[in-house]
């Protein structure tokens, strides 16, 4: 890792720059601002490269008022690519343009994060719930109903709830203090 001296004399570590390389992943969306012409939003991921002990690839998102061009790091090339995809989904789904319903793909407005067709961070239960609700809503609109699949999904959801309850039982969670307004 490169080091440089700061004004205070201490050493600061700075990662080397990550080249874009060849484009290994690409997708286009369309942004329809309330005023002005529609603009193409481009998502690009560059070739993963080894940077010291880690791997990294550049993620670029252009076409929105705020562009993004940054190296995404992982322990290996696969994780660097995965994290670049997850980051792109998180950035697009969190953008003001997406939240305002101004992003389109395949000629249709994208109204939930799952419809971006990018992996979203699954560490968030809310993200997982939004993905599932979006998927179920699309299936309902298409008239697709499969009782066996629904039962399987409910079984999995019960298993997840039990796993979360087990996890919560082992966490050092302090009971909240009763307030005078709480009922007994």
Question: Residue 166 pLDDT > 80, yes or no?
Answer: no
Q: Are 46 and 80 in contact (CB under 8 A)?
A: no
**Between 102 and 184, where is the model more confident?**
102
pLDDT tier at 29 (50, 70, 90 boundaries)?
very high
Q: State the DSSP H helix or E strand holding residue 35, giving kind and residue range, or none if neither.
A: none
- Average pLDDT score over the chain: 80
Domain spans of the chain, in order of start: 15-120, 122-170
71 vs 60: CA distance, rounded Å: 9
pLDDT per residue over 92-132, tens digit each? 998 999 999 999 999 999 988 878 888 766 555 556 666 67
pLDDT for 4 equals 46
pLDDT for 171 equals 59
180 vs 9: CA distance, rounded Å: 55
8-17, 21-30, 40-49, 53-62, range with the lowest pLDDT:
8-17
pLDDT for 152 equals 74
Share of the chain above pLDDT 90, in %: 46
User: Three-state DSSP class for 58?
Assistant: strand
Residue 173 half-sphere exposure toward CB, CA atoms < 13 A: 9
Q: Are 118 and 103 in contact (CB under 8 A)?
A: no
pLDDT for 5 equals 46
pLDDT for 39 equals 97
98 vs 31: CA distance, rounded Å: 8
pLDDT for 148 equals 74
26 vs 93: CA distance, rounded Å: 17
pLDDT for 175 equals 58
Pair of tokens at residue 156: 């999995």
pLDDT per residue over 33-70, tens digit each? 999 999 999 999 999 999 888 999 999 999 999 999 99
Question: Residue 32 pLDDT > 90, yes or no?
Answer: yes
Question: Residue 12 pLDDT > 60, yes or no?
Answer: no
């Amino acid at each position: 890792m490169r080091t440089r001296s700061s004004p205070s004399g201490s050493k600061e570590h700075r990662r080397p720059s990550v080249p874009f390389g060849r484009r290994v992943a690409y997708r286009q969306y369309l942004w329809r601002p309330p005023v002005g012409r529609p603009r193409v939003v481009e998502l690009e991921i560059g070739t993963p490269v080894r940077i010291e002990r880690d791997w990294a690839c550049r993620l670029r998102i252009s076409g929105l008022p705020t562009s993004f061009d940054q190296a995404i790091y992982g322990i290996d090339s696969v994780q660097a690519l995965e994290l670049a995809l997850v980051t792109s989904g998180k950035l697009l789904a969190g953008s003001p343009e997406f939240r305002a319903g101004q992003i389109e793909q395949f000629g249709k407005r994208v109204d939930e994060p799952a419809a971006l067709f990018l992996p979203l961070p699954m560490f968030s239960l809310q993200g997982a719930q939004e993905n599932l609700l979006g998927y179920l809503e699309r299936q309902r609109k298409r008239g697709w109903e499969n009782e066996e699949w629904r039962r399987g999904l409910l079984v999995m959801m019960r298993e997840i709830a039990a796993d979360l309850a087990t996890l919560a039982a082992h966490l050092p969670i302090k009971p909240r203090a009763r307030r005078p307004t709480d009922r007994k």
